[in-house]
Amino acid sequence: MARPLITSETKDGVKRSLILAGGGVRLAYQAGVLQALEEHGLQFNHVDGTSGGIFCSAMLASGLDPNEIAMRWRNVKIKHFMSGVPVNSYFKPARLAAFGDADGIRKQIFPSLGIDLEKIRANTQVNATFNVCNFSDKSIESIPSRLVTEDHLIAGMSLPIFMPAIRIQNNWYSDAVWIKDANLMEAVRRGAEEIWLVWAIGNCREYLDGSFNQYVHMIEMSANGGLLEEYEQIKSLNERIARGDSPFHQKKPIVLHVIKPEFPLPLDPDLFFKKIDTNTLINIGYANARKYLDRIPEGGVAFDKQSTKMSDPGVALSFRHHFAGVAKTSSGTSPIRFSPSFCFRKINGVLSLEAHASIDLGDFKREVSVGDGKALFISDKNKKKITLTGGLICNGTRYDLQADIPLNSWLHWWLGLEFKNMTLEIRQSGSRESFAKAVLSQTAWDRFRMLANASLRNFYGPGSKLKEHFRMVTNLYT
């Protein structure tokens, strides 16, 4: 049985804080990270959430384990994150408090995600804090779980322009991201010797046109700037600790670990318009965390700007699919569903194909993300296919997976005739015998739906985006 991720006493006695930074609704990503952390056997004394990171922090404080958190994120209805104000308000833009309100989050999202205020306040095993901006004082307040209210949680993710600030007693409160998007010093004050930061705010060199992109850039500048300021405070504190002067009782200098995407995650509009889904975000988070946990750097990472740096994303063609069928397993037969997502990138003229996936096999009792996913486009004797390989862990057992998806031509892609079927095999690691084997298919409706949701991101050069989309599909086949 897995040990709880958040506990009053860690098994190894190390004081650890888990910092779930912001990043909007796309922070379903964090659910995959939490699953990987629990699999690895890590435990934390404290969890802290800021902005969108409040969702998963509140779910942990409500007593949910990472597997249930991932399941709830996979099933949540994204449309409920959007809740409009009365129509006549939009005709008075000078007096408009925000484009939307929090009713959908209060009445639909919190119950769907299992966020329960009574359980949060009564939970003595999970030491959680939630950050809000006290706009009246222009300061950050870290609210402990035993004192938090629903208004605090809502205010903590009330991004100006999109959701209104909330009045609590005599002060106005809003999202803390403009001051800081991760409250590392709260963890330090609580005696943390290791800080594990889950970071999803973009941090690459590219500056994009468009008002929404530049609004996001302002958030990126504020968030990363606030983080670097906290880094400087911790570096100064570590010098004091090394001299034997430890005001918060750390016995050794504080160590930092950062789990982040390799490339900036798609923004919330992509999620609302189904260009990506929560399942894909969970699988990306799991894969990113597994990659870091498999090679944890000795002594952590440096407190500097490289800690959250991401690679420039280039032009990216994203597409995903859902295959289903019945697998032959070592115990008989089992229903199976396989959900791969692909991103075909062009960076400085160099093409690459990356993949993430999850598998829902009856024998596993839950949907399991695939780690170490690798995708190859293979052409042999006029036959083309995508081969996806990776590893997965379920109930402490490791498995290896290989999926082969036959392809025909770019014309089949545009006609919705591609991705009809595939073969899949799962073996226990180190075994030559199949644990599960299946031929899976995809309905015509799913193929057309996924064709419509395929998206081209980060194309801002000369020419038509549609033409570039066509070129990327052609490049994939040639």
The yes-or-no answer on residue 270 being catalytic is: no
Contacts of 117 (CB under 8 A, 6+ apart): 148, 149, 150, 153
Alpha carbons 173 and 158: distance in angstroms, whole number: 8
- Let me know how many helices (H) and strands (E) the chain has, helices first: 14, 19
Contact 59, 123 (CB under 8 A): no
Q: Which residues pair with 57 in a beta bridge?
A: none
The yes-or-no answer on residue 331 being catalytic is: no
Which of 51, 142, 158, 174 is an active site residue? Answer: 51
Instruction: Annotate 67-110 with DSSP letters as a single string.
Output: HHHHHHHHH--GGGG--BPPGGGGG-GGG---SB-SHHIIIIIH
Which tokens in the block code for residue 74?
């996979």
Q: What are phi and psi of 37, to 5 degrees?
A: -60, -45
List C-alpha distances in Å: 98 to 93, 102, 104, 247, 378: 9, 10, 14, 42, 50
Of 118, 117, 124, 134, the residue nearest 54 (C-alpha): 117
Contact 409, 477 (CB under 8 A): yes
Alpha carbons 21 and 223: distance in angstroms, whole number: 9
Q: Which residues pair with 399 in a beta bridge?
A: 392, 428
Kind and range of the H or E element at 118? helix 117-122
Which tokens in the block code for residue 395?
């109930």
Which of 48, 101, 116, 175 is an active site residue? Answer: 175
Between β-strands 255-259 and 194-198, what pairing exists: parallel, antiparallel or unpaired?
Answer: parallel
Catalytic residues: 51, 175
